[in-house]
Homo-oligomer: A and B are copies of this chain.
């Protein structure tokens, strides 16, 4: 497995690099970015994985969230995967932003035509970390995970399904209960088929009901978020599930904030500090 560096931009004393590689699980070329803080020039550093939302590539968060500043202060690498496989031979619904390219939803698709390439769960939890820890100055198996919206959903399920893999998990405006929202239902029925029991393997609320547990879930949700109003995100369902299962949840409802990267930028410093503390243990 080889990664090819196609861009390197100096930022906050470290380097924001972009790579391509041939993904075995997604069966196509994939692109991703990694921010290596200045500390990575002298030794290996811990890693925060960031999963992005619908329509995003690796570029949105690295340009808009202002995370690199805090990662440089903390000596933490940031990994920004793409949100789906790309390329001309990859299945898509080009007129829809919420299915196909840019909407991989961090599941392993089982249904044609999606199953050929849409294996984002295996990609972000297994193939990509193994590849990066073999090729970049990252401390093996010292990982935390966060994300936004569809990527917040991804962060929650990756941690809940792999409680020993991630030191900590946080999310901004996550899709907490995708099997109950229109975005989630649309993607899960396409990627996973009509049997809704299969969907529960990728739904944070369902996983908690089934007994999945992590030390804490740390979530920021804006109260002026249109998708919260539309019941796409459903943090209230997560709250109920966590209460019943005795799962620790820190859910901060932030008055006045919307669904945008301006919201993420406002609170990302607190999330980075939270993960840095967990990664230093």
Which A residues are within 8 Å of any B CB, using their own CB?
9-13, 16, 63-64, 66, 68-69, 222, 224, 256-258, 260-263, 265-266, 269
Across the interface, which residues of B come within 8 angstroms of A269, CB to CB? Answer: 69
Shortest Cβ distance from residue A237 to the other chain B in the assembled complex, whole angstroms: 25
- Give the shortest distance, in Å, between A136 (CB) and chain B (any CB): 19
Q: How many whole Å from A2's CB to the nearest CB in chain B?
A: 25
Return chain B residues, CB-CB under 8 Å to A64.
Answer: 63-64
Interface of A is mostly: mixed
- Pick the residue among B11, B13, B69, B265 that contacts A11 (CB under 8 A): B265
B265 engages A66 (CB within 8 Å): yes
Contact of A63 among B9, B16, B63, B266 (CB under 8 A): B63
Q: Do B66 and A16 have beta carbons less than 8 Å apart?
A: no
Instruction: Return A146 CB to nearest CB of chain B, in Å.
Output: 18
Tell me which of B10, B258, B265 contacts A256 (CB under 8 A): B10
Minimum Cβ distance to chain B for residue A223 (Å): 10
Q: Which residue of B has the minimal Cβ distance to A223? A: B10
5 residue pairs bridging A and B, Cβ less than 8 Å apart = A9-B262, A10-B256, A11-B263, A11-B265, A63-B261
Cα–Cα, bound, A66→B69 (Å) = 9
- In the bound complex, do residue B66 and residue A262 qualify as a contact, i.e. CB atoms below 8 Å apart? no
Q: How far is the CB of A145 from chain B (nearest CB, A)?
A: 23
The answer to whether B66 and A66 touch across the interface, beta carbons within 8 angstroms, is yes
B-chain residues with CB within 8 Å of residue A260 when the two chains form the complex: 9
A11 and B262 contacting across the interface, CB-CB below 8 Å: yes
